[in-house]
């Protein structure tokens, strides 16, 4: 097979992977939901790179750190896609956080967003967004910044506004962990099976 044929075949296979992104304010069960969905569908999931980065480098971050975190998130996503291409046991990839989260985080904390993040939003394609509502109790950990429900609801509305104004299907996820999982499974099955 010629190199262009291999590239085209890889692109077709990559397009068959359905990328489901879980977004929302902190402490809304995004990581837990990703894990549960990956287990249910026997699929891969991409962890939020920001946690790894901040645990390694400290939770005092700068505007420039957000660009590094965004690049790390994309790199982890690409590694998972390559794993699926090498061993396509599932066509689903669950992703904890994407560039919409980086945009909201950057604008909320620093009142601006790097052009690279904005460009990445335009160029990366996803198949479904699951927007987690802040209706479960906030859980304190060493990285979380916003225990105030009013701020978490404000952030939720930023995400909702972004999703309303883009073309990828999305669904609101609320309730306890079991209800969140059940709603998500129904939507994934409806769209992809």
pTM of the model: 0.91
Q: In this structure, which long-range contacts are made by residues 102-109, counting pairs with CB atoms below 8 Å and at least 24 apart in sequence?
A: 102/66, 102/69, 102/70, 102/73, 103/162, 104/155, 104/158, 104/159, 104/162, 105/66, 106/63, 106/66, 107/158, 108/155, 108/158
> pLDDT digit string (tens) for 37-82?
999 999 999 999 999 999 999 889 999 999 999 999 999 999 999 9
| Residue 6 pLDDT > 60 | no
> pLDDT digit string (tens) for 157-174?
999 999 999 999 999 999
Structure tokens at 34: 């990703």
Cα gap 28→173, rounded to integer Å: 9
CATH superfamily of this structure's domain 17-192 = P-loop containing nucleotide triphosphate hydrolases (3.40.50.300)
> pLDDT digit string (tens) for 100-111?
999 999 999 999
> pLDDT digit string (tens) for 171-188?
999 999 999 999 999 999
> pLDDT digit string (tens) for 120-136?
999 999 999 999 999 99
């Amino acid at each position: 097979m010629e190199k262009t044929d291999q590239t085209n075949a890889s692109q077709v296979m990559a397009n068959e992977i359905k990328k489901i992104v879980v977004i929302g304010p902190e402490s809304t069960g995004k990581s837990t939901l990703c894990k549960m969905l990956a287990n249910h569908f026997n699929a891969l999931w991409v962890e939020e790179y920001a946690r790894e980065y901040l645990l390694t480098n400290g939770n005092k971050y700068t505007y420039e750190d957000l660009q590094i975190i965004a690049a790390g998130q994309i790199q982890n996503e690409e590694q998972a896609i390559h794993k699926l291409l090498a061993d396509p046991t599932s066509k689903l990839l669950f992703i904890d956080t994407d560039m919409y989260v980086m945009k909201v985080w950057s604008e909320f904390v620093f009142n601006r967003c790097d052009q690279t993040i904005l460009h990445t939003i335009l160029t990366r394609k996803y198949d479904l967004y699951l927007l987690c509502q802040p209706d479960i109790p906030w859980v304190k950990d060493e990285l979380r910044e916003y225990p105030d429900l009013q701020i978490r609801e404000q952030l939720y509305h930023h995400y909702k506004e972004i999703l309303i104004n883009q073309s990828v299907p999305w669904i609101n996820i609320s309730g306890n962990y079991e209800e969140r999982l059940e709603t998500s499974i129904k939507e994934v099955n409806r769209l992809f099976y």
